[in-house]
Copies of this chain bind each other. A is one copy, B any other.
Amino acid sequence: MPGRTPEPGEDPREIPDATIVRLPLYHRALMALDRAGESTVSSEQLASIAGVNAAKVRKDLSYFGSFGTRGVGYDVPQLLSEVRAHLGIQRSRNCIVVGAGHLGTALLTFAGFADRGFSVVAAVDVDPDRVGSRIGGIEVGHQDDLDRLVRENDVVIALLSTPPEAAQQVADDLVAAGVRSILNFAPTLIEAPEEVVVRNVDLASELEILAFHEGRRDNEVAPAS
């Protein structure tokens, strides 16, 4: 979906999109194993922790070389570091939260980002009641300071949690400020230049997908008259 440029000789080993979305699962699983003091893990174990199957794990990991030892499995710290390297999170990446409503607040106070290689360093909003307040240790700036905050803090990723009406304008501002990746929580399509990667998280859409499966169980789908 994020139109990869299909350069002919781009990289020795081209990692498929489907694999990329699974890397975070492996990352999570490996962190848990490492914390538990496990020094090696087999593809079978890793698969069961990540919730996928073993063949897929091996194929996925094979895209960045051979790191397993046959008969034993993978070295946990080494594989962890390898996965981190490929995810580009060896050093932490700075993020900004745009829109400090309830969702923005949740994002600002979410404890789980630091471990995973992200650091929320700034936030902005337009509401005067929110601007100036501190949420999760971050002072909420005004929307107008977005450009400055992005540049001063070396922000590369934005978490966009504004109402949908404001999303496109905010996205444009973010791109102009130099942000290169946007995680969009607003339930609307946002346009951005090709080199900016946008991912969408639409909570209502997720629920609808669940509802689809519910519907399948309830009954035969009753088509609209």
Q: List residues of chain A with CB under 8 Å of any chain B CB.
A: 2, 11, 20-21, 23-25, 27-28, 49-51, 64-65, 78, 81-82, 84-90, 93, 95, 101-103, 105-107, 109-110, 112-113, 115-118, 156-157, 180-183, 187-189, 195, 197, 199, 201-218, 220-224
Contacts and interface: CB of A to CB of B under 8 A. Distances in A.
B24 A116 contact: no
A88 B218 contact: yes
Question: How many of these chains are in the complex?
Answer: 2
6 contacts: A88-B211, A88-B213, A88-B221, A93-B207, A102-B110, A105-B106
Contact of A221 (B21, B86, B214, B224): B86
A208 B109 contact: no
A20 B88 contact: no
Contacts of A156: 214
